[in-house]
Amino acid sequence: MKAIDHKSTAGLTAAMSRERLREPKLWLGLQQELHLSDRELQVAIRLVLGDSLTQIAGRLQIGRGTVVTYCGRIKRKARVQRRGELAVVLLLNSGLLLGDDRETD
């Protein structure tokens, strides 16, 4: 029996998840459920991808302080206090956590 290469399996899983993140319909429900603005949604997606606040600021071409403000708004809407909790809420609602294969059509 051939051993499972967990490192390459994790890489494949991450690539598949990143590909799913590009599906706009994946985020539509989350945006509607939490009443996120388009910019808040962009910040939320970058948080899910694991970007730091500084990385998010650079990618979205906004100040780090502005990202902090958006994170605060998103956390308030999601009713969480920490960024780690927020990431879990966002992942659960997007269907990426626990291998949820809900339809995006």
State which H helix or E strand residue 11 sits in.
Answer: helix 6-21
Average pLDDT over residues 66-85: 92
Q: What is the pLDDT of residues 11-48, one digit of tens each?
A: 444 554 566 666 666 677 777 778 889 999 899 888 88
Give the residue from 77, 97, 79, 83 showing the smallest Cα distance to 20: 97
Q: Which CATH architecture has domain 24-99?
A: 3-Layer(aba) Sandwich (3.40)
Query: 49 near 18, Cβ under 8 Å?
Result: yes
Rounded CA separation 92/95 (Å):
5
Q: What is the pLDDT of residues 81-97, one digit of tens each?
A: 988 888 888 877 766 65
Q: Is residue 100 predicted with pLDDT exceeding 60?
A: no
Q: How many CA atoms lie within 13 A of 17 on its CB side?
A: 19
Beta strand ranges found along 1-105 (DSSP E): none
- Better-predicted residue by pLDDT, 71 or 28: 71
What pLDDT is recorded for position 26?
A: 67
